[in-house]
Amino acid sequence: MKSRVLTPFMLWVVRVAVILSFGTSSADTKVGIMLSQEAVSHARAVQAEHEDKLMSLRGVQGVGIGARDGRATILILVDQQSREVEIPVTVGDMPVIVEEVGRIVAHQTVNLGNSVGNDILCTGPCDSNTCNFCDVGTIGFKVCDKTTPTLIGFVTNNHVAASGCPGKCPNNAPVGTSLFHPGLVDNTPVCTTTGATNVGTLNRFVTLVLDGSTPNDVDAAFVQSTDALVSSTIQGLGLQNNTTAIVSVGDAVCKSGRTSGVTCGTITGINLTINVNYEQVGDPTSPGTCGTGTGRFRNIVRYEPTAPSTIMTQGGDSGSPVVLNDGTLRAVAINFAGNTSGTQGFGILIGAVLTELNVSLYSDIPEVVSAPSNPSGPVAGSIGVTYTYSTGGSTSNLGHPIQYRFNWGDGTYSDWSSSASASKSWSTPNTYSVKPQARCSVDTSVMSDWSPGLSVTISTIGPDLAGSWTIPVTQTCRTIGKNEWCRLKGIFTVINLGNRDASSTYVKFYLSDNNTYEEGDMLLKSFSKGKLKPGKSKKINVSYNLPRGQSASGKYIIGFIDQSNVIGDVNVGNNVISYGPIP
């Protein structure tokens, strides 16, 4: 509910703060039992099948998904525990948990964790006098317009920013209404704008239907402001993280609100459909001013306090940012309602708020995008063949999503994409340096450095024979009678580095005075080893007896592969391999 103060003959307004207020984070990130995605999906299906009938039962305030003893359950919230006897013990094939929640009431607003409210004052009877009254709530998350990113502001609840006369009910404030920090309830003099800071104007809100049956997705409004007026810091927690978190039962969260400050707890219900009483946000002296006074909401999350917190949310905390308590402060929801004792809070998932208002989470802290990891992929290939390269690991310090592109080393680039992989084919044989880069997908002018390149050698399609002396050439000599006889021995390996079969493996060996083949070098032997597939190799045992009285000392032995180029070798530059000088 909203916090309200009635003062005779005085207007009272909610105050707005300019800082994001959030609770402190705990080192513990999870509490309780975590449900599997399969279990949650099944529970959603069962809930959807039976929800309308359950919501029609006497005293039922909400239906959603809970957990007990490691199992997903159907969670039913009732106004008093005595209703439990009227509730089935199972729904479909799922057990039921019944919990007393009392009445769920809408809270009043403040600024990003701090006080905020508009300057609309309404008049109504109080005791024997006529009173002017104002209200207050909390500033939620800092955002920018998706269509016009330079339009900066914050989100809060409709019943905070768009409350107006009669009755300070939701939907009643016109677009352009000013909002102040502190909210006028918190200002001195109360219900005046004297000394308060105008932190923005109501830009848009999602209209609430308070007929008790039509489902609402959000209670939300966008207040246009400026970077100078709205901080990127969540009060009591730290810098706003601009990524959203998908939560389940057992996740730890914190909220920072105008009234109860930073409180931390655990998600105890998801996918809730609840009835929320809005009479307390309006003029209590005029019942029915805010429609039937009841709004039905769907896909709501519930959170309850964990030590040392004993209260989760109170009047004046409406609009509070709710974040994941795992050290990241990822955005979860905006707080909008609670039970009358303050031990149960209810939030609208931030994703729905952003979608309905067409805004994005935003911070004015300079954004930095880290360089992506070194690319991975093939380091050799052929022209005309498509190869895929991958990178990743880039992050934005503001939590924005990341896009990647690749510099292919030939003057072309891949398109920017949220995928960390891209494909490329080259048309010219060469060695290319493939480098990835990252950028923010929200502010595309923020780019990372290029990562180190991956060297990729592209060749023409065909066989590519190369060789090496696996065992170096040795010479042994012996004297028989008056003559010296010398013998050369070694092992030569041929490998096909290409991408097509070599139809033959033909190698000639020469004895040369230097390490370069020249006409006139002495042919020692020729070998033919047949077909050689890509990536395969063959060994050739080279053994040759030199003519009587001849020595190879100081000379070189040269292996010449495919000297006549009968196989169409795509790289003849590695076809001549020499060894020497021979001892």
Is residue 501 a part of any domain in this protein? yes
Report CA-CA distances (Å) from 438 to 244, 374, 396, 435: 20, 12, 10, 10
Residue 130 pLDDT level (bands cut at 50, 70, 90) = low
Range of 406's domain? 380-459
Domain boundary among 402, 424, 459: 459
Residue 18 pLDDT level (bands cut at 50, 70, 90) = very low
Per-residue pLDDT, averaged over 356-380, amounts to 89
**pLDDT at residue 515 tops 90:** yes
Per-residue pLDDT, averaged over 519-540, amounts to 93
Helix (H, G, I), strand (E, B) or coil at 234: strand
421 and 390 Cβ atoms separated by less than 8 Å: yes
317 and 300 Cβ atoms separated by less than 8 Å: no
Residue 215 pLDDT level (bands cut at 50, 70, 90) = very high
pLDDT digits (tens, 9 = 90+) for 444-462: 889 999 999 999 988 777 8
Report CA-CA distances (Å) from 582 to 318, 352, 476, 487, 508: 90, 80, 11, 12, 18
**pLDDT at residue 229 tops 90:** no
Is residue 186 a part of any domain in this protein? yes
Domain shared by 455 and 492, yes or no: no
Q: Does residue 437 or residue 31 have the better pLDDT?
A: 437
CATH number, domain of 440, equals 2.60.40.10
387/421 Cα distance (integer angstroms): 10
Nearest to 420 by CA among 442, 439, 405: 405
pLDDT at 560: 96
241 and 397 Cβ atoms separated by less than 8 Å: no
**pLDDT at residue 112 tops 70:** no
Q: Which two tokens stand for residue 251?
A: 């996740």
Please give the radius of gyration of the chain, using alpha carbons only, rounded to the nearest integer: 38
pLDDT digits (tens, 9 = 90+) for 465-489: 999 999 999 999 999 888 899 999 9
334/344 Cα distance (integer angstroms): 14
Domain shared by 428 and 516, yes or no: no
pLDDT at 119: 82
Residue 113 pLDDT level (bands cut at 50, 70, 90) = low
- Residue 449 DSSP class: P
Residue 427 pLDDT level (bands cut at 50, 70, 90) = confident
Nearest to 236 by CA among 110, 360, 374: 110
**pLDDT at residue 414 tops 80:** yes
Is residue 5 a part of any domain in this protein? yes
Domains in the chain, number:
3
Mean pLDDT score of the chain:
86
Report strand pairing: 294-305 vs 215-216: parallel
Is residue 375 a part of any domain in this protein? no
Per-residue pLDDT, averaged over 529-547, amounts to 93
Is residue 123 a part of any domain in this protein? yes
Q: Does residue 425 or residue 113 have the better pLDDT?
A: 425
**Torsion sign (Cα): 352, 355, 357, 362:** positive
Is residue 370 a part of any domain in this protein? no
Residue 53 pLDDT level (bands cut at 50, 70, 90) = very high
